[in-house]
Amino acid sequence: MRYLTAGESHGPQLTAIIEGLPAQFEVTKEMINYDLKRRQGGHGRGRRMQIEKDLVDITSGVRHGKTLGSPVALVVTNDDFKHWTKIMGADPLPEDIDPEEIKRQISRPRPGHADLVGGMKYGHRDLRNVLERSSARETTVRVAVGSVAKALLRELGIHVVSHVTEIVGIKADPASIEGKSADEIRTIIEEDACYCADPEASAKMVEAIDAAKKEGDSIGGVVEVIVEGLPAGIGSYVHYDRKLDGKLAQAMLSINAFKGVEFGIGFEMARKKGSEVHDEILWDEEKGYTRATNRLGGLEGGMTTGMPLVVRGVMKPIPTLYKPLQSIDIETKEPFKATVERSDACAVPAASIVAEAVISFEIAKAILEQFHADQLPQLQAQIEELRAYTKGF
């Protein structure tokens, strides 16, 4: 299974094509729009989210609510495009165009963005040609793709949830999710402004976001994705590029502004002894093989263990600031304050939804690489067979 996305931030639409999905599982616009709305939420979002009301159109691969086995195409229209038709149009500009029509050209790269290096790489003197695609707006359709992947995983008894664990040093208490299922965690965080399961920490996060916005600054944080119901043995140890944790790490770091990833207790392992890190193996007739703890985050040797998969990603503060940093105009080489685009004071809550999407896709992809998957009933039978086999191994 694979997917491609296309579209610019202020272009007419965002498009994704997913290839390799099995036939016969349910996909509806309503389930995708539900996740698109979650991506637009969370405290700290900017004015763009007031302009766009992201809704998906399924233009191929689904009939009467069920996948066909053919490529699925998803389209999200950019409502704001009506204000950018000449600036972002695909047709060549006429020679007699009013200079005011192209006044939004950008020659001042923003520190921390792809603007300058992207302009160098592709030869763009108007840096808008870079920022329009490098914008996190592209993650809209990645969330739509992830929603489809989650629908498939649910049919296999696999459930995914994301939540915010930290913003600008304010940390949620791990006890706030202890003993709770993915569905129970989702019920809590969807009522929370920061998608955080700890209400006390969330209140402090809201205050920090408001303070950053007032100062014209931005703040980052950490999100966590939990995957429950995975059978043991998804992924492989035999080659570097088949290790599931490697694929998940790449997916997490592909999200705009994400700069770090960890599994289980992650970097805390560097401060502990081996006896305090590795998970002891247990077995009983009802559950089969389990672990006494889950410090490794449900992965050993690049494979799932059957324990919940736990992966976290760190998001840097958004580099578009309302008190912009110094930059250089690429035309005059004179110093300037960097260009300001619409932005968020904090996009960590929204980014948790993107993280949930990309992790869901990689899990679904790994499963489909491992099993024959032309249609859902065949895949379900193979997954159940694997669960039974590993339980009694």
Is 318 annotated to bind ligand?
yes
For residue 167, the surrounding DSSP H or E stretch is strand 159-167
What is the spatial distance between Cα 44 and Cα 30, in angstroms, rounded to a whole number? 25
Is 135 annotated to bind ligand?
yes
* 62-63 and 66-67 strand pairing: antiparallel
What is the spatial distance between Cα 185 and Cα 190, in angstroms, rounded to a whole number? 9
What is the spatial distance between Cα 356 and Cα 225, in angstroms, rounded to a whole number? 6
Is 110 annotated to bind ligand?
no
Is 45 annotated to bind ligand?
yes
Q: 62 near 27, Cβ under 8 Å?
A: yes
Is 134 annotated to bind ligand?
yes
What is the spatial distance between Cα 135 and Cα 125, in angstroms, rounded to a whole number? 18
For residue 210, the surrounding DSSP H or E stretch is helix 199-214
Is 320 annotated to bind ligand?
yes
Is 167 annotated to bind ligand?
no
Is 133 annotated to bind ligand?
yes
Is 257 annotated to bind ligand?
yes
Q: At 129, which amino acid appears? A: N
What is the spatial distance between Cα 128 and Cα 132, in angstroms, rounded to a whole number? 6
Q: Using DSSP, how many helices (H) and how many strands (E) does the chain show? A: 10, 17
Is 316 annotated to bind ligand?
yes
Binding-site annotation: residue ranges = 39, 45, 133-135, 256-257, 301, 316-320, 342
Binding site feature residues for NADP(+): 39, 45
Return binding residues for FMN: 133-135, 256-257, 301, 316-320, 342
